[in-house]
Chains A and B, each alone.
Chain A
Amino acid sequence: MSGGVHPSDGALRGIAGGRHPTEVEARHLLGCPACRARLAGLAPDAVLALLGTLPPGEAAPPLPPLPAPWRDRVVRGGLVAAAATLLLFLLGTLRAPLESPAWQQAPGVLRATVEAPGARVVTFVPRDPDAPVVTLVLDQEFDL
């Protein structure tokens, strides 16, 4: 059953001491209970070193699909970008700086409420009842 010559005592002592077995040694030891018993007699844990010469019982999974490199950056910076866009939109709609009294003349009211950690829900309610209400989620770090 076992192929090759039986390893010498010196070779087995080396493996028992921590040397990794060669493939030939491992193949022999896997198939030869007597030699394996000699090895285990020197250091029982050395039997597990034979595993390192074997392929694992399970096949490796495929490489995962890699996301586009820009996607993570977009996801991270997405809310900030969206917030900046919203700000420009609002500024364009209101035609007045947010902090100025002209804000009161804007065609609507800006309501901001914190709804979740890290995010802020901003609702723009126009004065015109027929105009749509706009609700956006902003990164909390974005300061209106």
Chain B
Amino acid sequence: MSDERELLRRAVRGDRDAFGALVRPRWDLAWRVALRVVGDPEEAKDVVQAACLDTWRNAARIRPEQGFEAWFLRTVVHRAIDALRRRRARPEETRDEPPEPPRARAGTRGPGAELEARELERLLREATAALSPRRRAVFVLCRVEGWSVERTARVLGMSPSTVRSHLLEARREVSRRLGDLWPGFPAGPGSDR
């Protein structure tokens, strides 16, 4: 922690190496979160890079007791939510990839095939497509990334009870959508059914 404070102090003075040492260990996590909230690699790339630059520019505003990680991830998540909102506000663009016909897709997998990350990413994107950006972020952070309600609340700037409420609704909606996406559910993709 004292190392982090020292790195932060140096970053505030403009030391790029110190800032890099703070960001690098959190970069993969930030990327994962951005990608899963936004659902599009190109947009997610813009999100994490812009969040990194925001954090660099505003390093002097980070309170050491608050922690660098919380600030950085908050910036990433808020930027991801904004990106999602902007995308949904553009009616001419496809908001999320339309689901492929489930039977054709499921039929491409052999019996006992392993469920792959890409398959799950696609299921996540499709099953959360109708959620509001904030609710989608809550679902990704709590259910997919396994963050506690309290941590999610801190990062999103919500009360824990609001996070719980969003999570409950999101889980209900996602479960319903998964049933629509995969008629064979609960066996799901990769099953023999």
What is the distance, in angstroms, from B108's C-beta to the closest C-beta of chain A? 15
A44-B178, A60-B31, A69-B14 known; A51 vs B53 contact (CB < 8 Å): no
Q: Which of A18, A39, A56, A60 contacts B143 (CB 8 A)?
A: A18
Q: How far is the CA of A56 from the CA of B23 in the complex (A)?
A: 18
Give B113 Cβ to nearest chain A Cβ, in Å: 8
A47 in contact with B112 (CB, 8 Å): no
Question: Chain B's nearest CB lies how many Å from the CB of A55?
Answer: 7
- Is A78 an interface residue when CB atoms closer than 8 A count as contact? no
Count of B interface residues, CB-CB < 8 Å: 54
Q: How far is the CB of A25 from chain B (nearest CB, A)?
A: 12
Are A56 and B36 in contact, CB atoms less than 8 angstroms apart? yes
Question: A36-54 CB contact bits vs B (8 Å, 1 = yes)?
Answer: 1111110111111111101
**A-B interface pairs (CB < 8 A), number:** 133
List residues of B (24-68) whose CB comes within 8 Å of A's CBs. Answer: 24, 27-28, 31-32, 35-36, 41, 44-45, 48-49, 52-53, 56-57
Chain B contacts to A: CB under 8 angstroms: 13-14, 16, 19-20, 23-24, 27-28, 31-32, 35-36, 41, 44-45, 48-49, 52-53, 56-57, 112-118, 120-121, 123-124, 127, 139, 142-146, 170-171, 174-175, 178-179, 185-188, 190-193
